[in-house]
């Protein structure tokens, strides 16, 4: 595994070492000891989640608050998404800055998103299977979000907004100004 820093403090790209030949490929997608060494501290993932979505599905921007905050390690096992991490830690030097990356089954990149971040993605291939490890359990009462098209954030979701498929719940999330 190889770590590449992003513009956001404590948010990293993880690239696996892929071994390929005429039969296909093999790679280690997660190794706790190596991962903890790469990020510089221990992360205890306790839950794996998976979603299936079609082109244009936009999920986010979501986060968990307080003691239920979650760090995530995300990757795509089928298709391609534009993944977005937003630093919402008020004491961070990168507060309200975001980072976008294409994650795909082809590039096999993963993104580590620490606690205190909002997260979202949009599917840019016909379909996508999205996987993420979480270091804390989901808690409905600690659920939070920021509207995906907040003008202050100016996130380029790549696709034409007419192609977006957004849940009713995500369409009414608050803006940054309403939260902070």
Active-site residue, selected from the candidate residues 62, 98, 99, 119: 62
132 belongs to the catalytic site: yes
Are 80 and 137 spatial neighbours (Cβ–Cβ below 8 Å)?
no
β-bridge mates for residue 52, sequence order: 129
119 catalytic per annotation: no
Q: Is 131 helix (H, G, I), strand (E, B) or coil?
A: strand
Task: Name the active-site residue from 68, 132, 138, 164.
Answer: 132
- Secondary structure of 138-156 in HEC code, one letter for each residue: CCHHHEEECCCCCCCCCCC
The residues facing 133 across adjacent strands are 48, 73
Any idea which residues carry the catalytic annotation? 62, 132
């Amino acid at each position: 595994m190889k770590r590449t820093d992003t513009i956001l403090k404590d948010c990293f790209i993880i690239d696996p070492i892929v071994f390929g030949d005429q039969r296909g490929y093999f790679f280690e997608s997660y190794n706790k000891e190596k991962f903890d060494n790469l990020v510089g501290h221990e992360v205890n993932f306790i839950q794996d989640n998976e979603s299936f979505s079609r082109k244009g599905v936009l999920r986010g921007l979501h986060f968990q608050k307080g003691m239920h905050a979650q760090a995530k390690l995300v990757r795509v096992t089928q298709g391609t998404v534009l993944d977005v991490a937003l630093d919402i830690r008020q004491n961070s030097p990168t507060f309200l800055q975001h980072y976008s990356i294409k994650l795909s089954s082809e590039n096999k990149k993963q993104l580590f998103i620490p606690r205190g971040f909002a997260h979202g993605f949009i599917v840019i291939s016909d379909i996508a299977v999205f996987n993420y490890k979480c270091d804390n359990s989901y808690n409905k009462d600690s659920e939070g979000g920021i509207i995906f098209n907040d003008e202050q954030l100016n996130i380029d979701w790549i696709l034409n907004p007419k192609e977006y498929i957004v849940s009713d719940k995500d369409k009414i999330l608050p803006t940054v100004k309403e939260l902070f």
